[in-house]
Amino acid sequence: MTRLLAGPADDRRADTARAIAGRERDSPDAHGALVVYCHRVSNDVSAQADAAEGGQLRASTLELFFDLVFVFTITQLTHAFSEHPGWLELGRVALMFGPIWWMYSGYVFLTNEVAPSSTVRRSWLLVGMLGFFIVALAVPEAFTGSGLAFGIGYFVVNTVHTGLFYSNGGRSASSAILRIAPLNLLSAGLVLAGGLVHGWPRYLIWGAALVVQIVTPYLVDTGGFVIRASHFAERHGLVIIVALGESVVAVGAALTGAEIGVGLVTTVALGLGLAYVLWWAYFGFDDERGELALEALPRTARVRPAVLAYGYAMYPLLIGIVVTAAGIRLTVAHGHGPSNWPAAWSLSGGIALFFLGQALFRMALGLPRAWTRLAAVPVVLAIAPIGIAWAGWAQLAVLLVAAFSAVVADDYIGLRSGESSIYASPATTLLRVVRRDG
């Protein structure tokens, strides 16, 4: 994905890396002449070494196509939760999305090592996409009538991943996938077995599959995998932006045939604004900082932080997007009147999960101010009663202001300390932070 790079091309990445490492930044005056480029400068030694080994440094269009298919599961999960909002359905979403997200991350590891540069590789990726599509189709009734289809689709996804990784990866990556394959096969087998039973045993078996995946990186030596930071961070960024887009689409689809009036347009505008806040919360600074933090690590030490930040931490973050989209959808459905508790808690709880996931992301990579995101969690949760006592649109409006204020406050602190990103710097930000002497 093309990124806009603000600042002198020869020192922007070095400046940002110094900010993350806590070293002194150049004088703000050095940013006086800022030029905007429509390409990313990537000339560091680590990236050159990655390229020399044949690994991918940027995401391909086929991978974007893959992500679009995968994110259909986000749409389906949003629909499923919207139909039956509550703790039971949230638990179901968590149980389904856990294994799904594990294998999506596995495919990021795969294409990070194995570029889809041949017909055979692209064909097998297409089979993996078909598996994800079957899983997505089965999501709405996965705990009632389509559990077996869910399990079969997931088993296909898992098998293609292991086979393609082993047959096309480098020597160290092929050895690493052989070490992790038995546990991946165990979790896929549990998902398939869960699809063959009904009632509480399915919950128990699918829960066991999720536990296996959570503990796998601690039971197996994952040191043979190579993380090419630019591609790895971009793929995960792509799935977040596409998930946010799909959440907006899901809300729009639910309004088909609704009478368009001032109230509906106002509520939808507030919902779109809230989606923008989530976009800015991650892509304003953390997307770039995460990549640079991962890239700054020795190549042999990248796997564990990558799994913690882009695997575990993004699990609640993406569920937060699902629940938020459902909350917006339910709020719009209530019109001008008060919301019910499921709608109100979905709206506030989804934002809280997103901020929680982002705080964990920062902790995993040693990024600054995880506390600001954690501090925002109780604030957005406390706004939920407004939807019950007053109106859904009022809760949405207050939530938008609170979430945006939390994000802007965090940005302000960072800009005052000299941090910058491709979207903002002390010299170019709309906040116009002025450094005063004395």
Residue 94 lies in a domain: yes
Q: Are 125 and 255 contained in the same domain?
A: no
Q: Residue 265's pLDDT band (boundaries 50, 70, 90)?
A: confident
pLDDT in the model for residue 55: 58
Instruction: Name the more confident of 14 and 242.
Output: 242
Residue 255 confidence (pLDDT): 78
Flag whether 75 is in a domain: yes
Q: Are residues 270 and 385 in the same domain?
A: yes
pLDDT value of position 262: 86
* Domain boundary pick from 196, 226, 256: 226
- In this prediction the pTM is 0.86
Q: Is 53 within the bounds of a domain?
A: no
pLDDT at 98 over 60: yes
Which has more confidence, 51 or 169? 169
pLDDT of residue 424: 79
Q: What is the mean pLDDT of residues 165-184?
A: 92
Domain range spanning residue 24?
5-48
For residues 80 and 42, membership in a common domain is answered with no
98-304-17 Cα angle (round to 5): 115
Based on the domain organization, do 219 and 248 belong to the same domain?
Answer: no
pLDDT of residue 8: 37
Task: Indicate whether 133 belongs to any domain.
Answer: yes
Residue-wise pLDDT for 36-61, tens only, equals 333 344 434 444 444 444 556 788 99
Does position 268 have pLDDT exceeding 70, yes or no? yes
* Cβ pair 393, 331 in contact under 8 A: yes
Question: Which pLDDT belongs to residue 42?
Answer: 40
219 compared with 261, residue with greater pLDDT: 219
User: What 3-state DSSP class applies to 36?
Assistant: strand
> Residue 55: enclosing H or E segment and its boundaries?
none
- Domain limit, last residue, from 226, 256, 280: 226
What number of CA atoms fall less than 13 Å from residue 329's CA on the CB side?
Answer: 27
pLDDT of residue 256: 76
Q: Mean pLDDT across the stretch 86-98?
A: 96
Is residue 93 over pLDDT 70?
yes
pLDDT greater than 90 at residue 2: no
Q: Give the per-residue pLDDT at 18.
A: 47
Q: Same domain for 62 and 168? A: yes
Q: Domain boundary at 179, 210, 226, which?
A: 226
Q: What is the rounded CA–CA span in Å between residue 49 and residue 371?
A: 35
Q: Examine the pLDDT at 388 and tell me if it is beyond 80.
A: yes
Same domain, 222 and 299: no
Compare 104 and 423 and report the one with higher pLDDT: 104
Does the residue 405 lie in any domain?
yes
d(CA 11, CA 293): 16
Whether residue 371 is found in the same domain as residue 285? yes
> Domain tally for the chain?
3
3-state secondary structure of 435: coil
Let me know whether 219 and 255 are in one domain: no
> Distance between CA 1 and CA 386 in Å, rounded?
40
CB distance 105 to 312 below 8 Å:
no
Does residue 399 surpass a pLDDT of 50? yes
The answer to whether residues 134 and 39 belong to one domain is no
Q: Say which residue the tokens 């909350």 belong to.
A: 327
pLDDT at 44: 44
Whether residues 73 and 216 share a domain: the answer is yes
- In terms of domains, do 88 and 152 share one? yes
Residue scoring higher pLDDT (136 or 9): 136
Nearest CA among 327, 287, 277, 331 for reference residue 423:
287
pLDDT of residue 56: 66
- Mean predicted lDDT score pLDDT of the chain: 85
Distance (Å, rounded) from C-alpha 303 to C-alpha 306? 5
Q: How confident is the model at residue 428 (pLDDT cuts 50, 70, 90)?
A: low
How far apart CA 25 and CA 19 sit, in angstroms, is 6
- pLDDT tens for residues 193-243? 999 999 999 999 999 999 999 999 999 988 889 899 999 999 999 999 989
The rounded distance, in Å, linking the Cα atoms of 260 and 269 is 13
Report whether pLDDT(416) > 50.
Answer: yes
How does pLDDT run across 334-369, given as a tens digit for each residue?
A: 778 899 999 999 999 999 999 999 999 999 999 999
Q: Buried (b) or exposed (e) across 256-287, using 16+ Cβ within 10 A?
A: eeeeeeeebeebbebbebbbebbebbbbbbbb
Do 192 and 222 belong together in one domain? yes
Contact status, residue 410 vs residue 376, Cβ threshold 8 Å: no
